[in-house]
Each structure stands twice: as structure tokens, then as C-alpha cells.
Structure 1
Amino acid sequence: MGDGRTRGKPLVLVASPFQGHMTPMLQLGSVLHSKGFSITIVHTKLNSPDPSNHPEFTFLPLFDNFLAIDASANFTKFCEVLNNNCKMQLQDHLTRKIKEGKEANDEMNQRITIIHDNIMYFVEEVASNLNLPSIVFRSSSASYMPAFLALPKLHAQGQLPVQDSMLQKLVPELYPLRYKDLPFNKTSTELAKEMFALAEHIRAPSAIIWNTIDFLEHSVLTKLRQHYKIPIFAIGPLNEMARGPSTSFLKEDTDCISWLDKQAPKSVIYVSLGSLATMNESELAETAWGLANSKQPFLWVVRPGSVNGSEWIEFLPEGFTEQVKGRGLVLKWAPQKEVLAHYAVGVFWSHCGWNSTLESISEGVPMICQPWMGDQCVNSRYLCYVWKVGLELENLERKVIANAIRRLLVDDEGKEMRQRAISMKEKAKYALCKGGSSFNSLNNLVEFILARF
């Protein structure tokens, strides 16, 4: 626990309803609780976490009036409504908490620090109104940020939306990114303007916490510190710092572990494209036959509804199940951290969300990269071109898929990539040890928060 100075001091963590954001926020809460802070998790009713998994936290639900996240809907409009619906509820709650602290002469409950997900930008206004310090938590890669910050200028120059002829060309001043790696590279000018306006809402946090590791993104973090001119604390990977219960919104099928137990070491490709990505029937068929034709064992996550209009796997091509019987397992959702840590898993075919990327790096598992949206294209480029522990899937075509799987599971190329991945795993572990970059950064964050009490 903490050193006594932190004991019971209140931190309010405001999470967003996206799986890729909620998971690291809960992990951050666990890490800070281990340092002695009292943690309140503020969350939306949509995709709310299970309080029974975290009895050490206080939970405060905000009524957001959403039933689900529609991945095809206008993201900026969703965020705008979400922030508008939650703002006064949080302000009223914190106002009451501070008033109760004053009446009880409890100085601690008057001096709250708020840490908020960058999507929940309304928090900054609430913190300003109540004269409370606010810290932004970013659950994306640091390398995504320079690309996002460059988008308004690229739009103004007429380089976005990206023309097909430009996709493979390098973006000036954003090496090693190509135009195809830019986030939202096909976004219309009108929607892009809305997104930039959204980003402008976050103006004056006192610091930024980033779920990353210094050795992975050192040069980018240096540039971001120069850009923001506030402290940036790189304290990842949080998935390794906080070994708590599952934070998944979907029910995990843990039976797959006993199936993995029967497979040879480093022989299985694990396929999971995250909690939001969707595909059509044709893409499902190409994926299925690519896995079948690779002749390698596979564990494939197909979410209900991940194929438009499907209940689950009724759109799998005829004859596929028979052809892969005994060699492949299709399931609705997997305990990903446990799967990636299993000795049988040799490759992770991923959408390259940042949590999945960090989890794969933490376990030394090379990746086949099929990014879908947001920061995923940036992450994929770094995995494949800079860190060299990933293979970009250029086309979702069965021959390309089967070839990529064999390259990484069977050929020497995969063995060399696995060696690099294991080396990165060791560096990530060292970062968390006493004297390591993330260990030091976490202690610096604690000191920073205490200095504001």
C-alpha cells in the first residue's frame, strides 16, 4: 500500500463506455489504490463495470440515456450527447461531496483530484468550476497523437480525405506513417471538422497519464512533452501492473484454455478483432478459408453480431466446420490475457487496438495486423515497420491470409519475429521493476498528485 501520505486521499476516475477505454481506467484505479488512494469510479450506465469485481472501489453511475454503442453511427455526435448528459450530474455529486467535507471539517474530502478519460472532456469544465485539479488519461498509443494533431493542417492543405493514389506515400513530418496509416484518413471534411472541434474541448489539464512504455515510444513522448508543456506520465503496460479480475463487457468462454492445453507450443493462431469491428459475409468467408487453408491450429473469436445481421456463426461458409474439425475452435469471446499468456499461442491476429497491442507485447507474441479504425492503423504501422513484431495483412483474401499465417507460425521469418517479441517482453517487464521507467513514472505521478493536495 501507500507510504501513509496517500492513505485514503480521494481520486475520482471518470471512465468512458468503450471497452478499450474502460479496461485500462479500471486497471489504473487498481494501481493507484495499491498506492493508498481512495478510488471512486464514475461511469456511464451504458457498459457499466461490475462493482462486485472491485469491492475496493466506490462506483458512481451517470445516467447517459444510451442503450448501446452503434459503431456505424456518428462518433462525434455520440460523444457530444454523452458529455452533455453527464456534466451536471458529476458537478452536483462533487459539489455535495465537497460540502459534506466542509461540514464535517474533513479536509481530505474537499481536496479531490479528478482523472478523466479524454473522451469525457466535460470533466475539465466541471473541475474548473469547482477549482479541482484534473488529469487526462489517454488509453491510445502516444504515437497516435502526432498523427491526430496533424489532421487539421492536412485537411486544410486538401490532402484529406486521402486519394487512393496517395495511400502508400509517406506523410511529410510524420515518418514512418503513410497516408493510409493516418487515423480517419477517409473521413469527410465536414465530419473531420466536427472531430477537431471535439478535441479542442480538452485545453488545460494539469498533466497527462499515458498507458505506454518509454522504450516503445520515447521519441514521440519527448515531442508530446514539448507540445503540451505539462507533465506526461508513461506508466504502462497497465495490463501487467494490475493483475485483477476480468473487465470484459462480454462473457468470456474460459473452456478454450483446456483446448489450448492440448495444442503444441507456439502452434496456434489466436484471432480476435476487438469488441467493435464488423465484417460482411464475404469477409467472413475469406477469413474462414484463409484459416482453413493455412493448415494451422486456430482459436477464432466471432462475436454475435460481428457479421452484419448475424446471430453468431450461421454465415460461416458451407463445408468449413467439417474441414477444420479438431484443428480450430470458434467461440464468442475469449479471456484474452490468459490466451496470449498460454504456451500454445504463437501468433495473434488482431485489429491492433492499443490494449491488445500492449497485451501481445507483454507476452512476447508476434502479430498479424488488420487495423480497422482510429489509432489502430498507426499501431499497426509501428508494430510492422518500427518494432518489427507484426506482419501487415494487406488484403483480406484467403491466399494472403493463409500465407501470412504460415510465414509467422512455420517459416524462419516467424521465428526471428518471435525472438524480437520476446526481447520486447523482457524490456516491458524491466520497465515495471524498481528503477524501471514505468516504476519511476508511477512514483512521480503519485508525488505530483500529492503536491496538489
Structure 2
Amino acid sequence: MAKQKHVLCVPLPAQGHVTPLLKLSHCIADHGFKVTVVNTESVHAQVMADNQRDEGPNPIKFVGFPDGLHTDKERKDWAKLLESISRVMPGHLQEFIEKVKQQSTGNEDEQISFVIADLNAGWALEVAERMGIERAGFWPASVSSLALTLHIPKLIEGGFIDNEGIALKDDVIPISKILPSYKSDDLTWSVPEDLTLQKAFFKWASAIVHHSKRSTLYLCNSFHELEASACGVIPGVLLVGPLLASTRLLHCRGSLWNEDLTCSNWLDQHPPQSVIYVAFGSTTIFSPEQFYELAHGLEKIGQPFLWVIRPDMTDGPVNKFYGTFLQRVRNHGKLVQWAPQEEVLAHPSVACFFTHCGWNSTLEGLSNGIPLLCRPYFADQCLNRSFICDVWRVGLEVDGDENGVITRHEVRTKILAVLGSDEIRANCLRMKEMARKSVSEGGLSLKNLESFIELIKA
């Protein structure tokens, strides 16, 4: 009888990173592997709380390590979080692997034989290499964003960016003849309003270049028909997406917030393609003024909308306004703190998705044929916006005024425009079909996943 291999998966401790690697972990567990997922203790506690709400056995084991920080406020400071986990987590990971090895002496099934690490947590690949364990990198964002990141040394050498990642030319940035040129505001580490944070992001992005050399294989949550040209510039890329939830995953979604399960019943009460779904991810922060404008824009359009509003989504008080707004829209608007997004986007009543353009949200929208309205916040979201609007032509962008505020008039105008575009709707339906085929029998992503499974069985 063949040995059962033990695979260790290490995501970056953030919602957009935990979710796709957990989905991949389930795919691997479905093929008979033991799988352990490593998180920081704070994220581990949130994932476990989500897991306890669901029924049925979970084929995956979860462990949590200290992240070196003491408060949730510190954990919301990206610069502090990234520095701390890269300093303290490698030691905890090595201790854990050694402990598993000692406890499983004589039982090779328990010993960790393969590590899959988010390239944003690439220190885990270094630990695996040092311990002689086979490994692969995982990239939870677009292949195009990985191509941009891995080309950082050439961008510095070519004079496109300086040593701190700041664009030296307000111009397009060519990486390859087979790839669309990048714009200077598409740089995934760019945070022009906070140069300290930008330096931290760029340092992290540069570390990804370093860590990527610890693996010759990169599993990516994308599909070939979407990003064929980007695949041509990165040797070793294996596309296994879109990684979408299915009925077998419902016992643990990896959500770090409580999902409001009343969304589906509310959507059932509305006609097909009538609801505007609005969700800006786990990190977007709005000023009160921007929040008011978005709210007024949604209110004035007069169509039903489902809006995800996290408790920490604004950087100032909006409670007084929020209460009266709730009253005014009670007949056609539903506001929740977190939604089961994949189920929402798969619902026939959803007409468009007003999004921050995070990669998971982008893929979930495309896989359901939903037109996108784009309001990126940071990181790879601006780059995704460019592809959504200019390359794939499956959505539109909302533009800020002279102060950078997206007005209620702009919200209303662009929602009507995206809903009224036959071209966007047709492109979305074509994209949906390609996404579904890629993970179906005979599809390239499914074949890639199966070939990866055979590789780690060996």
C-alpha cells in the first residue's frame, strides 16, 4: 500500500491569502493526502471559529504560531505585521516540523514530505529547503502581478523605478513583448500617500524575488485563457484556478469574519439581474465623506443593493448618518458586515459587482459572468483594475474628483453604464464559460492540478 504523504501549507495571514490556499489544501486532501495548514495564532482562532459553525468532519488539520505582536491594532499595521512574521515565524515553523518528525519516528506517513508556501510567506520555502523538504510556491494573485514582482531587479536596472520602488517615469513600463505594458500607477507596492508603508511593501516584494529562487514551481490561482501571455514570461508557472468553493468545502471556508447567511433569502426576493452587490474586501478604508457619497449614490439609483460594510471600514464616525441611511433604504437595500460572497455572486438576481478588485473577488466575479465596477484600494488592485477595464473589458472604473472622492453622481452614472453595456455583458459571459471549462474534466487547470498531485505523490 502506498504511503500517505503529509503536506504542509503556509499562507500569509490575511483573508485574501488564507482563502485560496485553503481551497487548494482541500483539493489536495481530496486526493488522500494529510494536510496541515499553518496560520498565525490570531488568524488560526478566526479560522477555527468559522470551522466550528459548520458541520461535518474536516480533512485538514490547523495549527497556529505566535506572530510576535501583542495587539490587533499592531496587526492592522501592515509594516509591523510583515516585519514581525518574517522575523519570528521561521523559527516556529522549523520547530514544528522537527517536533512532527520526532513524534512520528517509525511512521513516515506523519512526517511532512512537502511544503506549499505563499510566496508572500516565502521564508517558509527557505525553512523547507534548509530541512531538505520538497516544496512549491503558491501565488494567490494574478500571474501578471507575479511577473511584475519578479521583474523588480530589471525594472531598477532599466531605470523605471528607484531602489525604493518609486516610479521614475510617469509612463508605461514594458516587461515583455508578449505582455501588455504596465502603467506606473499599476505597481503593486505603490502607496503614494504613505511612503513609509510603500517602503515596507517594496521591501516585501523584493523579498518575494529572493524567496522565489527556493522553488522551481509556482502554483497560481488563475487560468490559462485569462493570462496566457503572462505565463510565457515566468518559467515554472502552473495555473490551477479559479480555485472556487464547492459543496465539499462548505465545512470550512476560512472566512475571518462571520458571514451573514440571510443574504441568499434576501436575494431570492428579487428578479434576475436586478441587484447591485457592493463589497470592498477586508482591508479597504474610506473617509466618512467617501462613505457618504457611496451611500447616496446607491440610494439614488433606486435599484436593490446588497452592501458589505465592515465595522472598521471608515476612518471616522458615520454612526449618525448610518442609522438614518438604513431607514431610508430599508425597502431596497440590505447592509451586512460580511457576506458569503461566492454564493452571492452565483445568485441569478445579481446584476453587477462594485468591487475593490482584489484577485479573489475578481476571479469570483469573472467565474459567475458578473460585470465589475472598479474602485481599487491598494496592492495589486490597481493592476487588476487595468486588466478588467482595458484588457478583458469586463467592467468600468469609477473616477475620483479633483480631491480623489468618488461622487454620488459618478457612482450612479457608472453603475448605469456598466449595467447597460452589451459588450461588457457578452465579454463576462465568455469569461465565465472559459473559467468553468478550465476546472472541468479535460480543462487545463484541472490537468495541471492532477499533474501536481502526481508530482507530490512521487
**TM-score of the aligned structures, taking structure 2 as reference length:** 0.87
**1:266 CA displacement:** 0.4
Aligned to 1:145, the other structure's residue is in SS state: helix
Structure 1 residues 176 and 400: alpha-carbon distance in aligned structure 2, compared to 1, 3 A threshold? farther
1:445 aligns with 2:449: no
The question of whether the paired residues in 1 share the 8 Å contact of 2:126 and 2:214 is answered with: no
1:308 aligns with 2:304: no
1:286 to 269, 284, 293: 293
In the TM superposition, 1:254-269 aligns within 5 A as 254-269=261-276
Give distance in 1, aligned partners of 2:30 and 2:160: 49
Give distance in 1, aligned partners of 2:187 and 2:320: 32
Structure 1 residues 268 and 93: alpha-carbon distance in aligned structure 2, compared to 1, 3 A threshold? same
Give distance in 2, aligned partners of 1:190 and 1:59: 32
5+ unaligned residues in a row in structure 1: which ranges?
Answer: 226-230
**1:121 CA displacement:** 2.0
Give distance in 2, aligned partners of 1:137 and 1:119: 9
1:345 aligns with 2:355: no
Give distance in 1, aligned partners of 2:181 and 2:126: 36
| 2:412 alignment partner in structure 1 | 402
1:251 to 233, 258, 262: 258
Q: Tell me which amino acid in the other structure corresponds to 2:381.
A: Q
**Worse-superposed segment, 7-16 or 152-161:** 152-161
Structure 1 residues 45 and 72: alpha-carbon distance in aligned structure 2, compared to 1, 3 A threshold? closer
**1:317 CA displacement:** 6.5
**Worse-superposed segment, 51-60 or 378-387:** 51-60
Q: When the two structures are aligned, how many residues end up with a matched partner?
A: 431
Give distance in 1, aligned partners of 2:202 and 2:76: 18
**1:32 CA displacement:** 0.4
Aligned to 2:35, the other structure's residue is in SS state: strand
Q: Tell me which amino acid in the other structure corresponds to 2:241.
A: G
**1:128 CA displacement:** 2.1
Give distance in 1, aligned partners of 2:202 and 2:143: 22
1:14 aligns with 2:10: yes
1:132 aligns with 2:133: yes
Aligned to 2:233, the other structure's residue is in SS state: helix
The question of whether the paired residues in 1 share the 8 Å contact of 2:139 and 2:146 is answered with: no
| 1:329 alignment partner in structure 2 | 334
**1:247 CA displacement:** 2.0
Aligned to 1:43, the other structure's residue is in SS state: strand
2:228 to 188, 207, 218: 218
1:199 aligns with 2:208: yes
Structure 1 residues 158 and 408: alpha-carbon distance in aligned structure 2, compared to 1, 3 A threshold? closer
Q: Tell me which amino acid in the other structure corresponds to 1:139.
A: P
| 2:403 alignment partner in structure 1 | none
The question of whether the paired residues in 2 share the 8 Å contact of 1:162 and 1:186 is answered with: no
Give distance in 2, aligned partners of 1:285 and 1:210: 37
**1:124 CA displacement:** 2.0
Give distance in 2, aligned partners of 1:27 and 1:271: 24
Structure 1 residues 92 and 71: alpha-carbon distance in aligned structure 2, compared to 1, 3 A threshold? closer
**Worse-superposed segment, 323-332 or 128-137:** 323-332
Instruction: Spell out structure 1 runs of 4+ moving beyond 6 A.
Output: none
Residues 170-196 of structure 1 show CA distances to partners (whole Å, capped at 9, x for unaligned) of: 333462432222223345485465335
In the TM superposition, 1:167-246 aligns within 5 A as 169-173=171-175, 175-187=180-192, 188=195, 190-191=199-200, 194-202=203-211, 203-225=213-235, 231-240=236-245, 243-245=248-250, 246=253
Give distance in 2, aligned partners of 1:69 and 1:131: 37
RMSD: 2.5
Give distance in 1, aligned partners of 2:120 and 2:320: 35
1:423 to 403, 425, 430: 430
Residues 324-382 of structure 1 show CA distances to partners (whole Å, capped at 9, x for unaligned) of: 33121122111111111111101000011111111111111110011111111111111
Structure 1 residues 272 and 192: alpha-carbon distance in aligned structure 2, compared to 1, 3 A threshold? closer
The question of whether the paired residues in 1 share the 8 Å contact of 2:259 and 2:338 is answered with: yes
**Worse-superposed segment, 66-75 or 436-445:** 66-75
Give distance in 2, aligned partners of 1:243 and 1:426: 22
Give distance in 1, aligned partners of 2:167 and 2:376: 17
5+ unaligned residues in a row in structure 2: which ranges?
Answer: 401-405
1:58 aligns with 2:61: yes
The question of whether the paired residues in 2 share the 8 Å contact of 1:95 and 1:130 is answered with: no
**1:213 CA displacement:** 0.6
**1:13 CA displacement:** 0.9
Structure 1 residues 375 and 394: alpha-carbon distance in aligned structure 2, compared to 1, 3 A threshold? same
Give distance in 2, aligned partners of 1:35 and 1:125: 26
**1:129 CA displacement:** 2.2
| 1:358 alignment partner in structure 2 | 363
The question of whether the paired residues in 1 share the 8 Å contact of 2:100 and 2:112 is answered with: no
**1:262 CA displacement:** 1.3
